[in-house]
């Protein structure tokens, strides 16, 4: 006699904290912290080709990830002021803001609490400096590089940051 093989129940492909449409599920038992950061896309033209300064860092899982520079506002800084300062600290490149690029938000869990993070992005023109991670006060950046704008999609680790750089690409003709 052939016995049917039991099948595992179907699983929701989304993480347990997310509902069927990707919206937050029922309130978590973990405390929630709201975080805000600012940063963006700082552009310099090299032989007529726009390049963007990006940083590499080691994530909590020990993997190298390339991302746009960003950080928390200090004191009464505006998001724009924080973006300029953080980009210079993490990349060594000073810049002036040309336009806002919008905000992204995401959730993650760390150290027994959920974090809802919102990052405000800006398009900047490089005005000086040279690539270095030596001025990063948090020592999060382990590398920094100028990457041609048309190669960013292959280099950046996060889809939401790739979308931000797509917006920057659309605005560049207005400023360069």
CA angle, 23 then 108 then 77, to 5° = 105
**What is the tens place of the pLDDT at every residue in 58-92?**
987 899 999 999 999 999 999 999 999 999 999 99
What pLDDT, on the 0 to 100 scale, is given for residue 20?
41
Give the structural domain span for 147: 44-175
CA atoms of 117 and 48, how far apart (whole Å): 35
What pLDDT, on the 0 to 100 scale, is given for residue 28?
62
What pLDDT, on the 0 to 100 scale, is given for residue 111?
84
The two structure tokens encoding residue 113: 């609490």
What pLDDT, on the 0 to 100 scale, is given for residue 27?
56
What pLDDT, on the 0 to 100 scale, is given for residue 10?
39
Q: What is the CATH number of the domain that holds 108?
A: 3.90.79.10
Give me the residues of the chain with pLDDT under 70, please: 1-28
152 domain residue, yes or no: yes
């Amino acid at each position: 006699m052939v016995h049917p093989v039991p099948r595992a129940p179907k699983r929701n492909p989304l993480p347990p904290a997310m509902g069927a449409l990707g919206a937050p599920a029922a309130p978590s038992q973990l405390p929630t912290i709201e975080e805000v950061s600012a940063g963006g896309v700082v552009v310099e033209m090299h032989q007529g080709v726009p390049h963007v300064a990006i940083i590499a860092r080691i994530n909590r899982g020990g993997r190298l990830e390339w991302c746009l520079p960003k950080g928390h506002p200090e004191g009464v800084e505006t998001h724009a002021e924080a973006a300029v300062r953080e980009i210079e600290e993490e990349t060594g490149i000073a810049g002036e803001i040309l336009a806002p690029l919008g905000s992204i938000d995401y959730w993650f869990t760390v150290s027994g609490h959920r974090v809802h993070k919102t990052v405000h992005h800006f398009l900047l023109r490089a005005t000086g400096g040279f690539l270095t991670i030596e001025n990063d006060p948090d020592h999060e950046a382990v590398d920094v590089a100028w990457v041609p704008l048309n190669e960013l999609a292959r280099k950046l680790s996060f889809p939401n940051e790739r979308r931000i750089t797509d917006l920057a690409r659309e605005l560049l003709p207005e400023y360069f």
